[in-house]
């Protein structure tokens, strides 16, 4: 069935046929001859009836013939104008019909191409997922790269593609003869790198993040040398995750992040980060953790956290009070350039309880003084 049949009967408009040349010539000659005959008859009749001069008779004849002739000319002009208006209306209608046909064809072709692209994208997704589940590390590596590329191309299902990448990191690490599989480690490192590239707030050209508004779900994942430097993540879940080696979130933006019960086994840097809502409830830091220059715009929770290394909070800014509740410190944390208030409750340093108190009063915020826990 054609498009015209699908949308009802087609409208067929025909332009008024122009008169043929011989008809115009014959009509013009007949008109001239008829006018001459009438004029001669009137001239003769006036001359014989009223016995006037030939000049007067001729003028009377011309006057009597001129009036109907002028009326005929006006009629012809009006008729010509009407035909011209009809032609213009027909031309406009033809343009409207042509535009309608074009729009219909364009929409049909656009829908067809969109459907074809959707089929291709789904086929790529299935193929990449099958590769990721392969027993060969090389095939899995190819599948991981294919899935990341698909996330770039398929905005409508980008979150699903990222979820697959995160799910791979949440799987238990493969072992060979009781030892960690090095090839699987390469695949995991590649996944982490692809996530960092896609979530990076801007690239060298200053463009926005490729994977904007993508959520990260890495709960329980084992992450080695995890680097999310400069990333922009609206929602990030790292509960029960284990961070091995150096971990960097330098300059990242985490709108809503949870590190509940996470374990950081190496150096950790959140320097220059911006948080809207962050929780380190029951988290464990086995090495130095840096928050230098970080900005906290919402709730901050360090309740029941464990710091076995240095906690560096210099030049930190926060709109809300920090919550150090039952927090355990191995070394006294240093608050230099204090720009926030903190409440220390039921905390210990090397197993020794310390008095409850506020750190970073308004006076100290204004003076930029240094303060340490007693």
Residues 6+ apart with CB under 8 A from 45: none
* Separate counts of helices (H) and strands (E) for the chain: 7, 26
Instruction: Looking at the structure, tell me whether residues 200 and 238 fall in a common domain.
Output: no
Instruction: Looking at the structure, tell me whether residues 156 and 270 fall in a common domain.
Output: no
Instruction: Looking at the structure, tell me whether residues 149 and 224 fall in a common domain.
Output: no
Cα–Cα distance, 115 to 123 (Å, whole number)? 12
Instruction: Looking at the structure, tell me whether residues 313 and 287 fall in a common domain.
Output: yes
Assess if residue 300 is contained within a domain. yes
Instruction: Looking at the structure, tell me whether residues 245 and 286 fall in a common domain.
Output: yes
Q: Is residue 15 exposed (0-12), middle (13-18) or buried (19+ Cβ within 10 Å)?
A: exposed
Assess if residue 163 is contained within a domain. yes
Instruction: Looking at the structure, tell me whether residues 270 and 345 fall in a common domain.
Output: yes
pLDDT of residue 219: 96
Assess if residue 349 is contained within a domain. yes
Provide the 10 A C-beta neighbour count for residue 294.
Answer: 26
Assess if residue 120 is contained within a domain. no
Nearest to 294 by CA among 329, 257, 264: 257
CATH number, residue 316: 2.160.20
Instruction: Looking at the structure, tell me whether residues 224 and 319 fall in a common domain.
Output: yes
Please identify, among 187, 209, 231, the residue that sits at the C-terminal boundary of a domain: 209
Instruction: Looking at the structure, tell me whether residues 221 and 367 fall in a common domain.
Output: yes
pLDDT of residue 78: 73
Instruction: Looking at the structure, tell me whether residues 350 and 238 fall in a common domain.
Output: yes
Instruction: Looking at the structure, tell me whether residues 197 and 225 fall in a common domain.
Output: no
Task: Pull the structure tokens for residue 120.
Answer: 């291709």
Assess if residue 125 is contained within a domain. no
Mean pLDDT for each consecutive 10-residue tract of the chain (374 residues)? Answer: 47 53 61 68 67 65 66 69 83 87 82 83 93 94 95 92 96 88 94 93 56 92 95 94 96 94 96 93 94 89 92 85 86 68 81 77 40 40
* Beta-strand relationship, 328-329 and 306-307: parallel
Number of domain units in the chain: 3
pLDDT of residue 318: 84
Question: What digits encode the pLDDT tens for the residues 338-365?
Answer: 567 777 788 888 888 888 777 664 433 3
Instruction: Looking at the structure, tell me whether residues 252 and 205 fall in a common domain.
Output: no
Instruction: Looking at the structure, tell me whether residues 237 and 167 fall in a common domain.
Output: no
Cα–Cα distance, 180 to 207 (Å, whole number)? 38
pTM of the model: 0.69
Please identify, among 209, 233, 263, the residue that sits at the C-terminal boundary of a domain: 209
Please identify, among 105, 124, 146, the residue that sits at the C-terminal boundary of a domain: 105
Assess if residue 127 is contained within a domain. no
Tell me which residue range forms the domain holding 238. 215-374
Q: Is residue 238 exposed (0-12), middle (13-18) or buried (19+ Cβ within 10 Å)?
A: buried
Assess if residue 115 is contained within a domain. no
Assess if residue 230 is contained within a domain. yes
């Amino acid at each position: 069935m054609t498009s015209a049949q699908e949308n009802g009967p087609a409208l067929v408009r025909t332009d008024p046929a122009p008169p043929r040349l011989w008809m115009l010539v014959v009509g013009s000659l007949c008109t001239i001859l008829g006018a001459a005959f009438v004029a001669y008859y009137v001239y003769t009749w006036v001359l014989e009836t009223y016995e006037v001069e030939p000049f007067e008779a001729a003028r009377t004849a011309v006057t009597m013939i001129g009036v109907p002739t002028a009326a005929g000319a006006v009629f012809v002009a009006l008729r010509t104008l009407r035909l011209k208006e009809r032609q213009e209306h027909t031309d406009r209608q033809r343009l409207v019909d042509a535009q309608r046909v074009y729009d219909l064809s364009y929409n049909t072709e656009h829908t067809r191409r969109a459907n074809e692209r959707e089929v291709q994208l789904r086929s790529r997704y299935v193929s990449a997922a099958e590769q990721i589940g392969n027993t060969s590390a090389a095939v899995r590596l190819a599948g991981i790269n294919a899935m990341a590329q698909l996330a770039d191309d398929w905005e409508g299902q980008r979150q699903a593609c990222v979820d697959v990448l995160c799910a791979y990191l949440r799987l238990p690490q493969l072992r060979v003869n009781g030892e960690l599989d090095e090839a699987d480690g390469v695949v995991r490192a590649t996944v982490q790198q692809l996530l960092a590239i896609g979530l990076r707030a801007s690239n060298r050209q200053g463009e926005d993040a490729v994977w904007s508004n993508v959520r990260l779900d890495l709960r329980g994942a084992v992450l080695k040398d995890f680097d999310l430097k400069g990333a922009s993540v609206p929602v990030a879940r790292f509960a029960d995750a284990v961070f091995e080696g150096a971990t960097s979130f330098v300059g990242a933006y985490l709108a809503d992040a949870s590190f509940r019960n996470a374990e950081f086994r190496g150096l950790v840097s959140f320097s220059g980060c911006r948080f809207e809502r962050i929780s380190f409830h029951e988290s464990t830091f086995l090495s130095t953790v840096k928050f230098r220059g970080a900005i906290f715009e919402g709730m901050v929770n360090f309740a029941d956290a464990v710091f076995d290394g240095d906690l560096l909070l210099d030049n930190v800014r926060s709109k809300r009070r920090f919550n150090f509740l039952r927090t355990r410190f191995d070394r006294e944390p240093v608050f230099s350039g204090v720009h926030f208030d903190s409440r220390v409750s039921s905390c210990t340093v090397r197993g020794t309880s310390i008095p409850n108190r506020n750190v970073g009063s308004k006076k100290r915020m204004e003076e930029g003084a240094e303060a340490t826990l007693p």
